[in-house]
Each structure stands twice: as structure tokens, then as C-alpha cells.
Copies of this chain bind each other. A is one copy, B any other.
Amino acid sequence: MLDLRKATGAEIRRLARNGEWKGPTPGLAVGYAQANLAVVPRDLAFDFLLFCQRNPRACPLLDVTDVGCPEPRYAAPGADLRTDVPRYCAYRYGEWMDDPSDLFDWWRDDLVGFLLGCSFTFENALQRAGLPVRHLEQGCNVPMYRTTLACRPAGVFAGPMVVSMRPMTPAQAKEAARICRHYPLSHGEPLHSGNPAALGIADIDHPDFGDAVEIRPGEVPVFWACGVTPQAVAMKARPSLLLTHKPGHMFVTDLRDENRTGEREA
């Protein structure tokens, strides 16, 4: 029996492809970078790629496929974006349509797939350093908030930055910043710590996405740019078709967590 924590990215993808793993992926294939998936039609792909380039904290690019090609040749050669994610979401003109287990009924020859770094990488690093990751301790989803920070727009894509929050003491927050600086492909350093109002967050106990977590005495909320940002922005642009992973059900790449440049080892 395969220990999923110790599995490789390729092993998790094979299980997802064969329908043997349909669940969320946190804690699986530790050491392999996991990725947010967004698939848009060719006519929006330049704007979306430009949006990612202009907002690297929220949208760290791990790989972008050739038009119509479901293989992310760089982040996971041989993989198939249509089958290798445990569960997907499909949207037409910004409206949810289905949560399919593969994309064969949705794929088109004009689609471009984007794989964007996710927070699991830096959360693993925080845990290794003994820093608290409260939503993991509490067994719930990370709290996420719409802010009044505007992303740099690109064509039809525009909207506010979405941030995730993890409570820590100020000393722990400093240490977290020092660690996360080394993971630019996993959202990098926190954007802010301390005052939710500085980001336009009115009520820290009522996140816009995910679940509220306990902030203990002596702790402050620490905010990171969040991978939900490009999805929220893409949805708002109401593309004829948008395909994504189902939240928490990520694409597991062959890239190692500690990869800091996105360049693959030779």
C-alpha cells in the first residue's frame, strides 16, 4: 500500500488519472510543488499570461501549456491536465457548470493551461520551522479575504488581491517572512501583518472564502497573496470557458518544493 505522503508527484497524478484518488491533496507527495490550475481559451490567454506576469505574488507561474496541448511539458512531462487532477470545476461565462472528475467533455483545441504555485509549499516550510499554521492545526480551510489592494490589470482581467491569513506572534511573523522570501513560486513573503483595516478587511472573523481561525492573545494576523486571486479575477471576466481544479484538489508537479526559480534541474 502506497504511503501518499511519501509518494512522488507522478504517483499522485496516476492515482488521480485512474480514479483511485478523488480527494484533496494537502500533505500528499511532500516535497513536490503543488499547483493551482486555470485553463482559458486562446483569445484570452495573452491577457491572462500578462495578468500573471504583472501580479507575480498572487500568480507565480510554474508552467503554461502550448495552445490545445494538455501536457505541462515543463512542470510535469508526460502528465495530462485533463485527467491528472483529482477533481475539477467548469465555468461558462463565469457561472459554475459542473465538478467533473476529468476534462474530456470540456477540452477544446484552443485551450491554454496555466499552473500557478500554491501555498502548500511555504506552509510545509513554516511547519518544518516549528511555526504555527493554524488552519492545519484546526483541520479547516485557510481563511481568505478580498482586499482593497488592486491587482495590476491586464486586458479583461482586473480585480482586487485576495489574501490568505495565518495568525502568529510578531516574532514568528518575522521568522515566517525570512523563510517565505525563499519561496517566490509559492507567494513569497507576507504582504502585510498586523492591521486588517490596512488591507480594507472589515471583519477578520468573517473571511470571504474558507474558514475563520482562532487568533490567540499575543498573535497578529499575517497576510499572504493568495492563489484564489487569479481565479476570482478570471471568473469576473466571464470567459466562454474557464476550467480549474476544485479548491484543495491540486495538480501535483514534478518540481521540487525548494525550487526557487522555476528552472528545472538538468
Give chain A's interface residues, CB within 8 Å of chain B: 42, 45-46, 49-50, 53-54, 56-57, 61, 64, 66-67, 74, 152, 154-155, 184, 188, 261-263
Query: Cβ of A49 and Cβ of B53 under 8 Å apart?
Result: yes
Q: Which residues of B contact A46 (CB under 8 A)?
A: 42, 45-46, 49
Q: Which residues of B contact A45 (CB under 8 A)?
A: 46
Query: Cβ of B50 and Cβ of A74 under 8 Å apart?
Result: no
CB-CB nearest 7 A-B residue pairs:
A46-B46, A49-B49, A45-B46, A50-B64, A53-B61, A53-B64, A49-B50
Query: Cβ of A56 and Cβ of B263 under 8 Å apart?
Result: yes
- Name A262's contact: one of B42, B56, B155 (CB within 8 Å): B56
Q: Which residue of B lies closest to A50 (CB)?
A: B64
Bound-state CA distance A50–B53 (Å) is 10
Bound-state CA distance A50–B47 (Å) is 12
Q: Which residue of B lies closest to A153 (CB)?
A: B66
Query: Cβ of A74 and Cβ of B54 under 8 Å apart?
Result: yes
Query: Cβ of A261 and Cβ of B56 under 8 Å apart?
Result: yes
Bound-state CA distance A42–B64 (Å) is 19
CB of A163, distance to nearest CB on chain B (Å)? 16
Q: Which residues of B contact A49 (CB under 8 A)?
A: 46, 49-50, 53
Most buried by B among A49, A184, A188, A262: A49
Bound-state CA distance A3–B24 (Å) is 60
- Name A74's contact: one of B64, B74, B152, B261 (CB within 8 Å): B152
